[in-house]
Structure 1
């Protein structure tokens, strides 16, 4: 699915702004007929939860409704007319005037709806969007709804971030020619100084296709005809971490001498490979430094914000980070576009977080019932998970910044049934994209002794909290635990090992001369302990701290105003750990950790 963009043959109208808004419990049974009878309005893009002071809205279970008037441009009479939703969390029903025109399930990937036959150029229509944030054991991410003693429905979910819902990303009206370019896939490679771009184009109807590739200065360096082929680039400039270089591929659908559709695609020429215990980008060993992140900010919730995006990337650059993981869902496309342009490496993750009854059972790791069972992760859950993988890879396959797919965060990979659940999903991901390595983030209960999935994957990605959830405040014991854990994975797998989560909750401004949990000093010492261990293993290929910034979570006595593991506060103020990471990561540039010059 191509991202809408203005071209000589395509136009788009942004529908962001303030929409009428209501929740189902306060509206008529069919609120999409006529104008919503509500005094409320909500901003788009943004999660709706924190925009209001009403607790019933913030914690609503059920459907909410957005509505606005949309006018179709007069010049679109000969075009196909589509609605594009960059995301609707977690399910959507879309109505044009009084008619249902489409539905989508999955809160972090886009969908298009063709409304050509229902609207007219120059006329206006009433657009109503119903959005549900409800989660069940057959959704991704999973959850359940409980009914309390007072009859109120309550959403329970099994991931540690607030279940923000609504239209958190942009909405568009866009035009597409009757004969159009529907999809483009590129795969890049190079040999010596010669680069190659293998391309494949899908069109809505049989037509002639031609392509041309231009360098950053706009000079055409290769061109060809046909819906598939390979473009050769002499003296290629590679896309590299920290040194992004993008070509532009222009794809045209042609009828005789007339261009009926045109679409541009940014292309970065680079390769990714796992070889032995090394992770290679362009044939050179790469060491990940960076963060697990969240799309999370005050008031907006998970609403995309360009200003926050720019500032977050600036802060990552300031720390010396070269990468991040899209924990725990696909981020807005604008984020990946930005990473492409600025040479930041991305581990791209599905929304499959919470597939673990052991976590529900607490730190004992003993599930109340098997994770992979009819009661929880069943065949319908697996089908929803597969659809998430399809939509993620279809959307993000052409981004050079994306170097690895993470298809789940902390699943119960130590439980029986895990292999049967994940094997078809791994096969699907490799079929959709055979060029990128696969990983999953390992929960602490899944050890090198009991994990049942690692043989299916390319990189061992560990989430470990020794010194926080285990051996809290005892970094000497924590160091021994971590040392043995990493050594065990190396001996078992012979694969690259990286840490995708390690961190300690920290209250800014809290200090102590002792190893006292929650202090800024403890967070610094905790990270330093981890780094000492990482540097002992040449098989180790990366470290991504949990988390970039503090973020909102569900209500719980173990969280005070959210998760405080950020090295930045929720409003992006640095804690002491941010300065410690800056010293380490800027010192790692150009060399592998573990050399005598390292000061942890």
Structure 2
């Protein structure tokens, strides 16, 4: 169960860390293959710590041992004096000479136990490390984590020492064939501790996480609250309160660490969360000495025929897709970066955004709650995943679970996406993805399950033939008519089922370099891109099965495979460039979203 940290008081370990690149992957078991003592253990030479010349001994301890580094040492690393990096950071953006480095980097910092208010138990929590992480505290290995975009934590209660404590993290942003994503992606691989690091102290028995679910009846709002206890159940009272609505209900235990409550609120007393009215309420959950307060919206997401419904009302999803990236910062966004994205999203007239192709920072969903923007969130099951491998399937479930348990209280999150542009002719994929859809529903059945799929051209027109459709609540369709093939208005040939599964055009668009002008027939010009948008808008707005769109993409982003004279390492499909300059397509899309057609 994901450790809920955001609403809690915690001690930040952001700030200056020391980074040490380890391209040859030597420092974890430093020279163990070369020098061993009689017991097979690594040793320092000579035994007394100094040679006859009075020089310091060469230590053969591994980098995670605090004693392996020092001011007067000839060891090949020093965790107390590496490259200084201010975390969170995509470290290659902080140190330009390592901008294209992929592989092992060691991060280290110290903290004093007296710096934070300590409770019975303390956890070390990472918001995200790309891609693999292994963590030590005071030379004791805490554990490891795979997956570059979701949070993880380790209990450190027994490893804490009075005075100075030393954290060492091995980050590995190598691309792996058996990873999720695998070796090939169309985005840049920003390695680093890209999100915040915190110490979280809690009572011995504490609230690990909780979930609020809402369903609507004619005249009532039905609320289910579940909470999970970490630690021995003490028989203490648990409760959930929504003070602004006069709710204070006891939580009943199932005897296995789970507490729950169900209650009903008169619908006239509640302002339901919606894009037009993003009302949030304080939800206070307590158990014994522990208490958490979070801001949660009450609302219901559903489908009916080909429509997406919010609180029973049809909503056409006026969206845009975006990556998590900022020029010069990589994936380590701050609050100002997040606010800038929502400024663009609101200026476009959107009520919806697709956070592609991996979990973005939690602050995006929390800000979307406040701004009234519905979200599509996804894991990077992207392109050619080896779906038949059982270990990959377990990693797949882990990444889904960590995302969902992090954001299942965000009213803005409407769709969980399980895959992007996977081969619908792959029989193994067609067996595994429905299982993943079921797994998502087991975790959270109050939102819609989707995936970004392809369509096929047949004698009957453009047809959705992906067998995954019957397992999805909403089908995302990625198509690039007018750019990679066909004409922009060919989308009008998409065969329509008026009561079929709702379709969201999850990607469409074309490339343009900001400031490059010409005719509507000149590829890579703003005019060409704008004309694609006009044709796509015509097709999307006239098909009753299409319930929305999220064109590709809000802003230009780094992509190593894009190297022609217009791109130079960037995907130029943004309606804004990487410096925030708007292209003509931005205004075409805004005019459509603000029109009376929807």
TM-score band, normalised by the shorter chain? Answer: 0.7 to 0.9
Tell me the CA shift for residue 193 of structure 1: 4.6
Q: Which residue of structure 2 aligns with residue 580 of structure 1?
A: 588
Q: Which residue of structure 2 aligns with residue 133 of structure 1?
A: 173
Counterpart among 477, 489, 492 of residue 483 in structure 1: 492
Q: Distance in 2 between matches of 1:238 and 1:219?
A: 12
1:79 paired to 2:120: yes
* Structure 1 residues 536 and 253, CA gap change in structure 2 (3 angstroms): same
User: Scaled by the length of structure 2, what TM-score is found?
Assistant: 0.85
Q: Which residue of structure 1 aligns with residue 507 of structure 2?
A: 501
Tell me the CA shift for residue 444 of structure 1: 5.5
Q: Which residue of structure 1 aligns with residue 101 of structure 2?
A: 60
Tell me the CA shift for residue 406 of structure 1: 0.5
Q: Which residue of structure 2 aligns with residue 368 of structure 1?
A: none
Q: Which consecutive unaligned segments of at least 5 residues does structure 2 have?
A: 31-61, 70-76, 253-258
Counterpart among 139, 144, 147 of residue 103 in structure 1: 144
Q: Which residue of structure 1 aligns with residue 45 of structure 2?
A: none
* SS state at 1:300 partner: coil
Counterpart among 224, 231, 239 of residue 211 in structure 1: 239
8 Å contact from structure 1 (residues 415, 452) kept in 2:
no
8 Å contact from structure 1 (residues 46, 302) kept in 2:
yes
* Structure 1 residues 319 and 520, CA gap change in structure 2 (3 angstroms): same
User: Between Structure 1 and Structure 2, whose CA radius of gyration is higher?
Assistant: 2
Q: Distance in 2 between matches of 1:555 and 1:43?
A: 29
1:520 paired to 2:548: no
Q: Distance in 1 between matches of 2:464 and 2:149?
A: 34
* SS state at 1:470 partner: coil
Q: Which residue of structure 1 aligns with residue 302 of structure 2?
A: 273
Q: Distance in 1 between matches of 2:394 and 2:479?
A: 29
Q: Deviations over 1:66-87 (max 9, x none)?
A: 1111122367455211101000
Tell me the CA shift for residue 51 of structure 1: 2.0
8 Å contact from structure 1 (residues 137, 381) kept in 2:
no
Counterpart among 353, 367, 377 of residue 338 in structure 1: 367
Counterpart among 154, 164, 172 of residue 124 in structure 1: 164
Q: How does 1:13-412 map to 2 (within 5 A)?
A: 13-25=11-23, 28=27, 29=30, 30-34=62-66, 35=69, 36-37=77-78, 39-54=82-97, 57-73=98-114, 76=117, 78-120=119-161, 123-143=163-183, 158-204=184-230, 205-206=232-233, 207-214=235-242, 218=244, 220-226=246-252, 227-234=259-266, 235-254=269-288, 260-355=289-384, 378-412=389-423
1:570 paired to 2:578: yes
Q: Deviations over 1:512-560 (max 9, x none)?
A: 1342111111111110100111121122110111000000011443542
* SS state at 1:479 partner: helix
Q: Distance in 1 between matches of 2:428 and 2:245?
A: 54
Q: Which residue of structure 2 aligns with residue 597 of structure 1?
A: none
Q: Distance in 1 between matches of 2:456 and 2:18?
A: 46
Q: Distance in 1 between matches of 2:577 and 2:495?
A: 33
The count of corresponding residues between Structure 1 and Structure 2 is 536
Q: Distance in 2 between matches of 1:529 and 1:449?
A: 20
Question: Mean alpha-carbon deviation: is it higher for 200-209 or for 173-182?
Answer: 200-209
8 Å contact from structure 1 (residues 131, 166) kept in 2:
yes
Q: Deviations over 1:234-266 (max 9, x none)?
A: 311100113211111111112xxxxx1111122
Q: Which residue of structure 1 aligns with residue 550 of structure 2?
A: 544
* SS state at 1:248 partner: strand
Q: Which residue of structure 2 aligns with residue 452 of structure 1?
A: 467
